[in-house]
Amino acid sequence: MHGSRSTGVMTAGLAASSLAVAVYALRHSPDPLLVARWWPATALTTAMLVTAPRRHTRLLLPVVFLIVLVASLVAGREPVFAVGFAVANTIEAVIVLWWLTGFEVDRPELRSWTDYFRWLIAITLGAWAAGVVTAGTIGLSGEHELWRPMLWIAVTHMGAQAVLLPLFLRQSRHKAQPRVLEVMAHLALLALGALACIAADPSQPVAFLLLPLLMWAAARFTSRWANLELLGVTLGLAALTTMGRGPFKDITGQASVTDIAASAQSFVAISAITAVAFSVAMIHLRDSLRKIRNNEVQLGQLLDSASGTAFIATDLEGIITWFSPGAEQLLGYSSADIVGRTTPMPFHESREILARAQKLRLTPGYDVVTHPVAQGADQDTRDWTYVRKDGSRLTVSVSVTAVRGVDSNPVSFLSVVRDVTDRRAAEQALVFALDKERETNQRMLDLDRAKGEFVSAVSHELRTPLTSIVGYTELLAEDMSENLTVDQQQLVERIDRNGERLLTLVEDLLTMARVEDGNLALERIEVDLRSAVRVATDEVAHSAHKGRVSLHVNLPAEPVLLEGDQAYLERLVLNLVSNAVKFTDAGGEVDVTLRTIGDVAELCVHDTGMGIPLEEQGRLFQKFFRSSLATEHAIQGTGLGLNIVRSIAEAHHGEVRFQSAPGEGTTFWFTVPLIGSRDGAPVDRVTPVPAERPKHRNDSEVRR
């Protein structure tokens, strides 16, 4: 409410002032065709529109028209001229208001260069519009040379707008604090300039003495002070001109271009435009300096708070110009003892500086530290050994950068110093540990290789006698069975069974050794996978019958041909089927199904056994892994069978998959590419009849 009341009072005051100065100026006009020597009414009416709320603009435009119309009629102007002058002033006010505010901003600013150029264009367009409209009105009287009144009116209106309008715009609130002596000197010189203007005549161009004083006020004092001082100078010159005194002569309707250019109003317009530009420039400069000072303070506080990092600045000669608190803490020196007194050379070990200087072919000195950035590098970071004040040494990482001027040449250097003693020691310890680990790994590899060679050699040596033992045991069981007692036959069977188990273990170890050495050589021939399945299932049939496990074999009617090794394929199938039988309790079932799907053969071995614990399934194909259920039920095995299965499958470009759940059984799938493409064919279901035990292998060959 208080703001609205004060705005209304200002609007009313500006309206009344506009009317008063308009009447005065018209009555004292030297030429009835010209408005006046100076026309402040146009600036005051524009200020009234600018300072009023935008919602009142439409209501105030008729007021502007009426002010000029009434003033013209009171001063004795003819109605046609009065209306024309009123229209011209209204158009000028509207143009200035529109260009400054766009009819949206309540009160425009004059704080930046953008604001300045907007203001300058606004008053220029408005003044010339007023000149053109007024000249057209004068032309109605029969006057032919209209350029003189048009030019004079544009100059007087522009001078009035340039002097008065800035007083009503928002300007910088920055308060200049000049010294009292400076203010007194400025006012004294201004008084002398005023006296010189009073005593001068048009032949003595002393008015230019006031221009430096106006620029001084714009540069050193506040914008408001400079505007008021400019207004005072303008009023003084207008008064002197009205009295026929001073450096500017009276201008009439017959004035030439030179006369108008040398008039008081031209001087006022130029002085105002220049002074306002100076004010804006100083506002911009003060704001920039204030931001720079704030940034410097913030940067200084930031760098001073970085206690773990040292900042050392030097000039081009290497003399330290800044020594941060972090540097004091790191090196033990105080800033008062260092800044301006020495270079960073006392912090360096002489042997490192000498070695670096020799490498760069420079004279030993601080130049060897700053040389890379002095030659154009953005930054140079390297480790140095620093010597603290107490003589102790530490390893530091020094990052040197060049502070460059506007010409891109270095003006100083900044070093960021970090203590990396502990980090470098940790890195060295880590490198040492990695070397030891690498050495240990190599030893383990060598040991593993030696172990493999030993296992392979021992297995080769064991296979021959074991083969003989198994062979002779079979002969003994066949040829002398009639002469052996029942107990003796059981003993022979045990010897045969354990011999076969040892022989299988030896074969597993040899196969594993070949896989690890990459020497699993396959005898690739055309193989009917049905044959491998029959051989393997025949060997396991006795064990299944003995354990009361139903074994079902489903084979296709047509050959399943692939390129592979017959013996290794039999071994793969035997391991899968043997495992299924071993881990299936009495009364369970094992289904072995072979079929072709497109270009691959698929062997499926499914059992209804105890299954595999979920948490152990990821380790199923690892060497020597045996599930907890196998250990719990004391099921014999080495943990090599499935690893060998996967190795044989991969050697045949096939793969092995499985699915299992505890208590629900396990299913293994072995897929391998066929020689030719064929669709799945009808299968014959074969249930093997329990047969005599194989003479060369037994059912305990594979262990899970």
- Select the highest-mean-pLDDT range: 72-81, 253-262, 310-319: 310-319
Residue 252 is assigned to a structural domain of this protein: yes
**348/392 same-domain check:** yes
Q: Based on the structure, what is the number of domains in the chain?
A: 4
Looking at the fold, whether 431 and 532 belong to one and the same domain comes out as no
Proportion of the chain above pLDDT 90, given as a percent: 7
* Beta pairing class for 320-323 and 525-528: unpaired
Do 341 and 435 share a domain, yes or no?
no
Do 485 and 584 lie in one domain? The reply is no
- Structural domain including 493 reads 426-500
∠ Cα 409 411 417 (to 5°): 115
Structural tokens at position 565: 């090794």
Digit-coded pLDDT (tens) for 10-31: 878 888 888 887 777 777 666 5
Which of the listed residues 396, 419, 442 is the one where a domain comes to its end?
419
Phi, psi of 395, deg, nearest 5: -90, 125
3-class DSSP state of 358 = helix
- Closest to 230 (Cα-Cα) out of 269, 175, 281: 269
Q: Does any domain span residue 294? A: no
Per-residue pLDDT at 459 exceeds 60: no
Instruction: Reply yes or no on whether the pLDDT at 624 is more than 80.
Output: no
494 and 345 in a common domain: no
In a domain, 167, yes or no: yes
How far is residue 312 from each of residues 2, 315, 331, 413, 415, measured CA to CA in Å?
57, 10, 11, 8, 5
Average pLDDT over residues 275-280: 86
Please tell me the distance from the alpha carbon of residue 292 to that of residue 657, in angstroms, as a whole number: 72
pTM of this structure: 0.50
Q: Which residues contact 125 (CB under 8 A, 6 or more apart)?
A: 95, 96, 99
Domain boundary among the residues 357, 386, 419 is at: 419
In this structure, of 162-166, 439-443, 470-474, 535-539, the range with the lowest mean pLDDT score is 470-474
Residue 407 pLDDT: 76
Residue 682's pLDDT band (boundaries 50, 70, 90)?
A: very low
Mean pLDDT, range 321-325, rounded to an integer: 85
Q: What is the mean pLDDT of residues 549-553?
A: 91
Residue 120 lies in a domain: yes
Q: What is d(CA 56, CA 106) in angstroms, rounded to the nearest whole number?
A: 10
Do both 372 and 449 map to the same domain?
Answer: no
DSSP code for 519? -
Residues 218, 359, single domain; the answer is no
Shared domain for 385 and 318, answered yes or no, is yes
Q: By the 8 A CB rule, do 79 and 70 touch?
A: no
Domain identity same for 398 and 477: no
Q: Picking from 299-303, 587-591, 683-687, which range would have the lowest pLDDT averaged per residue?
A: 683-687
The predicted model gives 490-511 an average pLDDT of: 67
pLDDT at 432: 84
Q: Which pLDDT score, from 0 to 100, does residue 701 have?
A: 34
Does the structure show a pLDDT above 60 at 2? Answer: no
Residue 671 has pLDDT above 90, yes or no: yes
Please say which residue of 400, 419, 438 terminates a domain: 419
**In terms of pLDDT, which residue wins out, 452 or 606?**
606
Q: CA 15 to CA 63: how far, in whole Å?
A: 8
pLDDT at residue 514, as a whole number: 64
| Highest mean pLDDT pick, 178-187, 196-205, 438-447 | 178-187
Inside any domain, residue 244? yes
Q: Rounded CA gap, 532 and 566, in Å? A: 7
Residue 289 included in any domain: no
Looking at residue 680, its pLDDT comes to 38
Confidence of residue 603 (pLDDT cuts 50, 70, 90): very high
pLDDT at 410: 85
Average pLDDT over residues 65-90: 84
Domain annotation covers residue 125: yes
333 pLDDT more than 80: yes
Q: pLDDT higher for 684 or 198?
A: 198
Average pLDDT over residues 503-522: 64
Cβ atoms 525, 566 nearer than 8 A: yes
Average pLDDT, the chain: 78
**pLDDT, average across residues 681-700:** 35
Structure tokens at 139: 């032309």
CATH of the domain at 328: 3.30.450.20
Q: What is the widest separation between alpha-carbon atoms in the chain?
A: 164
**Over the stretch 189-198, which tens digit does the pLDDT of each residue have?**
888 888 887 7
Residues 457 and 560 in one domain: no
> Do residues 234 and 183 both lie within one domain?
yes
pLDDT of residue 628: 62
- pLDDT above 70 coverage of the chain, percent: 76
Q: Is residue 617 part of a domain?
A: yes
DSSP assignment of 369-429, as one string? HHHHHHTT-S-EEEEEEEE-TTS-EEEEEEEEEEEE-TTS-EEEEEEEEEE-HHHHHHHHH
Which residues are within 8 A (CB) of 632 and not within 5 positions of it... i.e. 6 or more apart?
none
pLDDT, greater one: 374 or 523? 374
Residues 534 and 496 in one domain: no
Please report the pLDDT score of residue 692 as a whole number: 33
- Averaged over 489-514, what is the pLDDT? 67
pLDDT of 533: 92
